[in-house]
Structure 1
Amino acid sequence: MPDIPWTTPTAPASDAEVYVMASRFETETLVGALRFFLKAPGIIAQIRKAPGANGAALRARVFRRTFLTLSAWEDRDALHRFARSEPHRSSARAASAYMKESAFTFWTVPARELPLTWAEAERRLDEQKQSS
């Protein structure tokens, strides 16, 4: 399945610090993975309009039932406003019914480092998993 590449809804100031979130989701079943994947374009479209969104991407491994997300925000509050708004809020609640495992990690980086790499996101997610 194709990934959704990095998109930059609002470019941050070059001297700004941005708030980053990486997540890993694993669904219980392939049907759950297909449901998750079919919701992804709507969530990416929502991010493209979200105030404070500086970038987002999705790495979809549908047949492995695993998804990675990576997003950058002007601050923590912008991310939280997005997460509480529709369609993300309803999609996240629905996904909990078919989710096997999920992990999240957060950090800040200088805006000039955008877009971030999947290697960095996976490294941070792995570190977070090992520390829990």
Structure 2
Amino acid sequence: MPDIPWLTPTPPAPDAEVHVMASRFETKTLLGAIRFFLKAPGIIGQIRKAPGAHGVALRARIPSRTFLTLSAWEDPGALHRFARSEPHRSSSRAAAAFMRESTFTFWTVPASALPITWAEAEHRLAEEAARSGHAA
């Protein structure tokens, strides 16, 4: 399954500090993975229009029922406003029923560090999973 590569909805100011979020989701079933994947384009489209969004990418591994997301934001408030808006809000609530495990991690980088690599995101997610006792 091809990744959705890094998209930059609104470039940050060159000297800005950017807030990054990476997430890892594992669904309980293959059907759950398909449902998650089918919702992804709408959520990516929502991020592309979200105020304060500086980047987004998705890594979908449907056969292993695993998804990684990566996004960059102007500030934590922009991320929280996005997360509480539709369709993300309803989609995430519905997805909770078929999720096996989720891990989230947050950090800041200078704007010049964008786009974040998958290697960096996976490293930080593994560290967070180890801290919280989840498998990575």
Category of TM-score, reference length = shorter chain: over 0.9
The residue number in structure 2 matching 1:65 is 65
Residue 3 of structure 1: CA displacement?
A: 1.1
The residue number in structure 2 matching 1:33 is 33
Residue 131 of structure 1: CA displacement?
A: 1.1
Matches within 5 A, 1:101-112: 101-112=101-112
The residue number in structure 1 matching 2:52 is 52
Q: Distance in 2 between the 1:39 and 1:131 partners?
A: 29
Q: Distance in 2 between the 1:52 and 1:77 partners?
A: 9
The aligned amino acid for 1:91 is S
Residue 2 of structure 1: CA displacement?
A: 1.6
Q: Distance in 2 between the 1:32 and 1:45 partners?
A: 21
Q: Distance in 1 between the 2:9 and 2:113 partners?
A: 16
Per the normalisation by structure 1, the TM-score is 0.99
Residue 59 of structure 1: CA displacement?
A: 0.2
The residue number in structure 1 matching 2:77 is 77
The residue number in structure 1 matching 2:19 is 19
Q: Distance in 2 between the 1:7 and 1:41 partners?
A: 13
The aligned amino acid for 1:115 is P
The alignment partner of 1:68 has SS state of strand
RMSD of equivalent CA atoms:
0.4
Q: Distance in 2 between the 1:5 and 1:117 partners?
A: 10
